[in-house]
């Protein structure tokens, strides 16, 4: 089976996650990348969206998780996203990156990021 990579990069959401009261009250920007490993040979042959993963649906699932749920840790958010995508789409593996550009670190930095890779069991 071919292992092709289908990605959505730089999804950006305003959401209310974190440990600090001001993070939860005011919210902040979160950026998410998704890379899905799948076999696209059927879609290549047919040129039909129904034969691949509809990235619009993937975007909506990520948006629901990031905007409508609450997490203290971006690690937990990443795992939830991986679980949902693996359960709802015909993919073999997914890599999720969540960035928190304005993480309160007590000093200057370009934020924090978690990257996880999960595969279908």
**Residue 88 annotated to the active site:** no
Question: Of 42, 64, 88, 100, which residue is the catalytic one?
Answer: 100
Residue 60: count of CB within 10 angstroms of its CB: 11
Candidates 8, 33, 5, 30; CA nearest to 17 is 30
> Looking at the annotation, which residues are catalytic?
100
């Amino acid at each position: 089976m071919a292992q092709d990579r289908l990605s959505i990069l730089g999804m950006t959401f305003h959401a209310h996650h974190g440990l600090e009261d001001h993070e939860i009250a005011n919210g902040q920007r979160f950026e998410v990348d998704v890379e899905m490993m799948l076999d696209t040979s059927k879609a290549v042959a047919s040129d039909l969206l129904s034969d691949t993963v509809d990235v619009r649906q993937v975007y909506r699932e990520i948006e629901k998780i990031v905007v409508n749920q609450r997490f203290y840790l971006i690690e937990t958010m990443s795992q939830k996203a991986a679980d949902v995508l693996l359960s709802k789409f015909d993919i073999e593996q997914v890599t999720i990156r969540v960035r928190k550009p304005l993480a309160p670190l007590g000093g200057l930095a370009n934020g924090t990021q978690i990257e996880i890779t999960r595969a279908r069991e």
